[in-house]
Amino acid sequence: MKTNLVSRVALGFAVIAPLTISLSGTPVAQAADDAIKIGEVGSTTGSEATFGVATHQGVELAIKEINATGGVKGKKLQVILLDDQGKPEEAATAVTRLITQDKVVAIVGEVASSRSLAMAPIAQQYKIPMVSPSSTNPKVTEIGDYIFRVCFIDPFQGFVMARFASENLKFKRVAILRDVKNDYSVGLAKYFTETFKKLGGEIVVDQSYSAGDIDFKSQLTSIRGAKPDAIFVPGYYTEVGLIARQARSLGIKAPLLGGDGWDSPKLLQIGGKAMEGSYFSNHYSADDKAPHVQAFIERYRKAYKDTPSGLAAMGFDAMMVLSDAMKRAKSLSSADIRAALAATKEFQGVTGRISIDQQRNAVKSAVVLKVVNGTFVYDSTIRPG
Ligand code: PHE
């Protein structure tokens, strides 16, 4: 068993400690015996560590609030988080362990589509409901009727950025640089291309890399030769930050465009000034003035001394949607939880109103954020349909 047990957090307690990463696998606290166990799988280490940490903090805040208001069916919830280190095979091991050893009633996770795709067949096989907070590749929920998500999917996200590039920015010629090792990146590049061409745009060069690469100069040199208006880079923050720096050092001034995989404070640490003026689509903006969003931000800041990212908001919403379904379910059997999840309608989340459709996806708006003076600034909202 290579999977690290990151934390076993018993959330029947009044005060929740901030995420305790115990690589030795020591339980942080033991649960009350009759707590309802929820499994969570995330990358709390590795090159996408901020995804797992931020999501877990959102999940933890939700659990704390649910337990403080009576729990579910008179019982407290307990979340058991396992770190997959950003590796699909570890995510598969983790979900198997949560189901067969810890006997969780439901799973929250993963963020990254490639890891959710490794977990979903196992959850489906054991008929344990799985709710991904933020995996956007369409294939994830197609795995089976126990697999749900509370976010939009990439055909929509690709449409959002293509329309934004074409209509808002008036761009005609875009280059693509995709991560071929990442299902999310490959899918999003494809959906962006489809809409951008429909809107009269041209993909002037299409290049690729593999997650973990650190030198992108040869791809960027051919992109520079094509003189694009922008470069669409639907990858994760570590590589995107490096790509931005190398693009600027090669004299490329065109902005980068991307998707939710950019959502990390590390993007700005790694990319620095090279990220200025670039845009990406996301699930939520901390600039949203809606009272329930600002109230969430305030509670989160109090708990973690940090502004919640989109991932934290999605983790919070995923846990809240799951507990709402468990409250409505006839019993806590997996079939009843599954049926209640499928019946979710107009749930008011931090990231928008969540209704689960026939394909077990949520249909929601996206926001476009711009990098300005080293922060993510709200630019616009694009609605589905
Ligand atoms: N949507 C990405 C995927 O499916 C994951 C992600 C979501 C990353 C939100 C960052 C923020 O792989």
Q: pLDDT tens digits for 23-57?
A: 434 444 445 568 999 999 999 999 999 999 999 99
d(CA 13, ligand 1 centre) in Å: 31
Stated as kind and residue range, the H or E segment containing 207 is: strand 202-209
What pLDDT band is residue 385 in, cutting at 50, 70 and 90? Answer: confident
Mean pLDDT over residues 105-111, rounded? 98
The structural domains of the chain, with segments of one domain joined by +, span 7-152+291-364, 154-282
Mean pLDDT over residues 78-102, rounded? 98
d(CA 133, ligand 1 centre) in Å: 9
CATH architecture of 7-152+291-364: 3-Layer(aba) Sandwich (3.40)
pLDDT digits (tens, 9 = 90+) for 245-277: 999 999 999 999 999 999 999 999 999 999 999
Q: How far is CA 336 from CA 76, 283, 318, 325, 356, in A?
A: 19, 29, 18, 9, 16
Q: Given this model, what pLDDT does residue 335 score?
A: 98
Atom of ligand 1 nearest to the CA of 314: 9
CA–CA separation, 96 vs 256, rounded Å?
39
pLDDT at 76 over 50: yes
Contact 318, 364 (CB under 8 A): no
Read off φ and ψ for residue 280, nearest 5 degrees. -145, 155
The residues, ordered by sequence, that sit 6+ positions from 164 with a Cβ below 8 Å of its Cβ are: 257, 279, 281, 368, 380, 382
Averaged pLDDT score across all residues of the chain:
93
CA–CA separation, 19 vs 23, rounded Å?
12
Ligand 1 pocket mutation pick from 111, 113, 141 by most atoms within 8 angstroms of CB: 111
pLDDT digits (tens, 9 = 90+) for 308-342: 999 999 999 999 999 999 999 999 999 999 999 99
Read off φ and ψ for residue 168, nearest 5 degrees. -80, -45
Q: Given this model, what pLDDT does residue 26 score?
A: 40
Cα angle value 376/381/383 (rounded, 5°):
145
Contact 136, 151 (CB under 8 A): yes
What CATH number is given for 154-282 in this structure?
A: 3.40.50.2300
Closest CA to 308 of 14, 41, 6, 59: 59
Q: Given this model, what pLDDT does residue 32 score?
A: 57
d(CA 37, ligand 1 centre) in Å: 25
pLDDT at 154 over 80: yes
pLDDT > 70 fraction of the chain, expressed in percent and rounded: 91
d(CA 235, ligand 1 centre) in Å: 9
Contact 355, 367 (CB under 8 A): no
Domains 7-152+291-364 and 154-282 share a fold: yes
Ligand 1 pocket mutation pick from 132, 136, 238, 350 by most atoms within 8 angstroms of CB: 136
Residues having CB within 6 Å of any atom of ligand 1: 51, 111-113, 134-137, 184, 260-261, 263, 310-311
pLDDT digits (tens, 9 = 90+) for 180-208: 999 999 999 999 999 999 999 999 999 99
d(CA 136, ligand 1 centre) in Å: 6
